Amino acid sequence: MLKSERLILRAVRRDDLPRLCEFNNDLEVELAGAGDPPTPQSLERLQADFDQRVSKGGRDGTWFAIETGGKLIGQCGLFNFDEFKGVAHVCELGISIGDKSYWGRGYGREAIRLLLDYAFRYWNIHRVWLRTNSENERALRCYRACGFVEEGRLRQHEWQNGRYFDTVCMGVLRSEWESGRAAGKT
Ligand SMILES: CC(C)(COP(=O)(O)OP(=O)(O)OC[C@H]1O[C@@H](n2cnc3c(N)ncnc32)[C@H](O)[C@@H]1OP(=O)(O)O)[C@@H](O)C(=O)NCCC(=O)NCCS
């Protein structure tokens, strides 16, 4: 549905689930991406959740599979739209490239730029924000390259792998995104 030079962002399909399940059970991916302790996930549970959502009908929302060259490499999307839509116009962004062979090759920023354009252009969003772990340097650099700035820290908010980490909150305003684009920076 959304396309860039190398990527397609499209709805998640049932035949994606085995690969997504592999990503969800990869400890390195889980630890990089989440503040919660890692837990195993069965394919059956993932399929049951998927089927339940599909049975409700309607559209697929704002969560996308990330595909390149016909291969599924991760997921990303917008969520937590402000409750009073039409007032603040704020939402949160999340991304996980589960195929580690695609880390650090610019795919993350390409997907995020597509998502930001989608948020600002089609959803009339005013501010997009996200949170990440203070030790996730790859993510921090990727987000900065897309125009996100650090807005605050929840100190020692996450426990991972035997240590506390800060949660870093970052955001980008529509005006910053537009001026960054005009200057060719984002
Ligand atoms: C975080 C993530 C989306 C970033 O996407 P990506 O495609 O890997 O990132 P990019 O290639 O666009 O940018 C990576 C940046 O980190 C740098 N980098 C690459 N490997 C690194 C490493 N091991 N340590 C530190 N920095 C690293 C790159 O040089 C680049 O920075 P630069 O442009 O300033 O040189 C992706 O790696 C991912 O999904 N990781 C697993 C889950 C996760 O961390 N999710 C985010 C949760 S908030």
User: Is the CB of residue 29 below 6 angstroms from any atom belonging to ligand 1?
Assistant: yes
Evaluate: CB of 77 within 6 angstroms of ligand 1: no
Sign of the torsion formed by the C-alpha atoms of 87, 184, 134 and 24: positive
Nearest CA to ligand 1 atom 6: 108
Cβ atoms of residues 108 and 6 within 8 Å: no
CA of 21 to the centre of ligand 1 (A): 21
pLDDT in tens, 173-184: 999 999 888 787
How far apart CA 51 and CA 149 sit, in angstroms, is 38
Rounded Cα distance, 41 and 103, in Å: 22
HSE, side-chain direction, 13 A CA sphere, residue 90: 10
Overall average pLDDT of the 137-164 stretch: 95
Q: What pLDDT does 109 receive?
A: 98
Question: How sure is the predictor about 130, in pLDDT bands with cuts at 50, 70 and 90?
Answer: very high
pLDDT digits (tens, 9 = 90+) for 49-89: 999 999 999 988 899 999 999 999 999 999 999 876 667 79
Burial of 116 by CB count in 10 Å (0-12 exposed, 13-18 middle, 19+ buried)? buried
Please report the pLDDT score of residue 37 as a whole number: 87
pTM (predicted TM-score): 0.95
Q: State which H helix or E strand residue 67 sits in.
A: strand 63-68
For residue 119 and ligand 1, the question of a CB distance below 6 A is answered with: no
Q: Which strand ranges, in their side-by-side order, compose the sheet holding 90-97?
A: 2-3, 8-10, 63-68, 71-79, 90-97, 127-133, 163-173, 149-160
Rounded to the nearest angstrom, the distance between the alpha carbon of 180 and the centre of ligand 1 is: 20
Beta-ladder partners of 55: none
Pick from 112, 117, 126, 111: nearest CA to 81: 126
Q: Residue 127 pLDDT > 80, yes or no?
A: yes
Instruction: Find out whether the beta carbon of 96 lies less than 6 Å from any atom of ligand 1.
Output: yes
Q: Helices 137-145 and 107-122, interaxial angle, to 10°?
A: 50
97 CA → ligand 1 middle, Å: 9
Distance, CA 109 to ligand 1 centroid (Å)? 8
Round the average pLDDT of the chain to a whole number and report it. Answer: 94
pLDDT of residue 136: 94
Determine the average pLDDT of the residues in 104-131: 96
pLDDT digit string (tens) for 11-32? 999 999 999 999 999 999 998 8
